[in-house]
Each structure stands twice: as C-alpha cells, then as structure tokens.
C-alpha cells in the first residue's frame, strides 16, 4: 500500500473509532445533548467504515454497497415513524443481499444451519404475535433474509461468521423493543455495540477471503 493511502486509512480508522465511542457514550447518557450527539454520530459510522475499507484498497463494490445500505438504514431508524422503519429495514435487507452475493457458495456446517433454523422458528413464534399487524409480514421476510446472511457468513470463516451472528443479535434486540418484550438494560447501547462489531467483522471477513488487505480495525478487535 502506498504511504498516502496508508495514512488516509489510519485517519479514517481514527475517525470511525471516535464516532463509535461518541455514539455509544451518548446512548449511555441521558438528556438533550446526548440525544443530539447520537443523532449526529450514528449516520457517520458506516460511511467512515466504508471509506476506511476503500482506502485500504481492493474492496469489492458490493461490500461498499452493503455498508452504505447500513448507513441509509441507520439514518432512517433515527426517525420515530413506521414508514421510516420499514424503509430502513428495506435498506438493511438490500445490504444483506449484497453480503449473500459476496459470500458465494462457501462451505457451511449443516448443523449450524439447523441451529439457525431452530432459532429463527423460535424467535418468530415469540416475536411475530407481539408485533403490530402491519409489521408482521415485513419482519418475517426480513428475519428469514437476515438469518440466511448470518448462516452463509460462516462459510468465510470464524470472523465473518461471528459478524453475521452478532448482526442477528442486534436486529433481534430491535425487534424485541418494538414488540415490547423483555430487554437488557440500556438496550439501544447493546444494539449498537453488536451492530458495529458485526459490520466490522463482516467487512474484515469479506476482505480476507477476497485476498484484499484486511482493514486496520482488525487489529483493534472492536470499535468500542
């Protein structure tokens, strides 16, 4: 990698970490200032990660597209309205399609697939009856796509497989909140922690299997 690209990637990594820490700190705090920080920081996260991946060189276009779909979804979910939620979910679904195409036909464990299928069935049985009627079919379809992405991610190795699993955990936490089911303390914080780690691991896993240089954030494990 040329020195200027290496410097750009490091600066973008630093910006990504700062934005992530700002957003997570805001979610742990309370008040108008914390909400403002969250509103500003959250939409910066995926563009910074996508730019950092691009700066490293050799990133597939579909990976950039998946991360930018996440940016669109993140931004829309800041709006507390059902149409915005559905539009955001559609963008995340498009990102999962990008990931599935990137994952190709990598070898996966059928026992893991059975585990994901069982988890999907149990989660659907618990969540869908508790959701508003207008969300049940879209959430069911999205859950199937998300679970497929999480399972297929395991074909790229442990890193991407863990990223897919954490993405599933993050979105399940969102769904339990909408369904007014029990959640951990400060659920929005855990939604973002699992989401940020998931996207970082998925990006690193894709780049590693594509033969491109892995992004620098691989050495820092998580953005938090």
Which pLDDT value is given to residue 106?
A: 75
Q: Which segments in the chain show pLDDT lower than 70?
A: 1-3, 58, 211-224
Task: Indicate the pTM of the whole model.
Answer: 0.89
Contact (Cβ atoms closer than 8 angstroms) between residue 58 and residue 84: no
Outline where the chain has alpha helix (H). Answer: 3-28, 32-56, 61-76, 82-103, 110-127, 133-153, 158-178, 187-210
Which pLDDT value is given to residue 99?
A: 96
Q: What are φ and ψ of residue 182, in 5° steps?
A: -55, 140
Which pLDDT value is given to residue 223?
A: 39
Which pLDDT value is given to residue 88?
A: 96
| pLDDT tens digits along 2-17 | 667 778 889 999 999 9
Considering the chain, what is the average pLDDT of its residues? 90
Closest by CA position to 149, among listed 110, 102, 91, 115: 102
């Amino acid at each position: 990698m040329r020195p200027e690209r290496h410097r750009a990637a490091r600066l973008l990594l630093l910006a990504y970490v700062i934005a992530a820490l700002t957003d997570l700190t805001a979610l742990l705090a309370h008040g108008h200032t914390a909400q403002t920080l969250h509103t500003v920081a959250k939409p910066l996260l995926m563009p910074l990660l996508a730019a950092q991946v691009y700066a490293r060189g050799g990133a597939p276009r579909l990976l950039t597209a998946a991360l930018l779909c996440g940016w669109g979804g993140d931004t829309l979910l800041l709006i507390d309205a059902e149409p915005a939620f559905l539009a955001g979910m559609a963008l995340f679904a498009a990102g999962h399609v990008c990931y599935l195409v990137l994952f190709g036909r990598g070898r996966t464990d059928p026992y893991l697939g059975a585990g994901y299928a069982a988890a999907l069935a149990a989660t659907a049985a618990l969540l869908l009856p508790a959701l508003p009627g207008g969300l049940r079919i879209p959430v069911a379809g999205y859950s199937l796509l998300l679970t497929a992405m999480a399972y297929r991610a395991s074909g790229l190795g442990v890193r991407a497989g863990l990223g897919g699993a954490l993405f599933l955990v993050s979105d399940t936490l969102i769904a339990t909140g909408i369904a007014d089911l029990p959640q951990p303390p400060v659920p929005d914080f855990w939604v973002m922690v699992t989401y940020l780690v998931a996207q970082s691991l998925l990006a690193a896993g894709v780049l590693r299997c594509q033969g491109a240089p892995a992004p620098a954030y691989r050495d820092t494990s998580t953005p938090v």
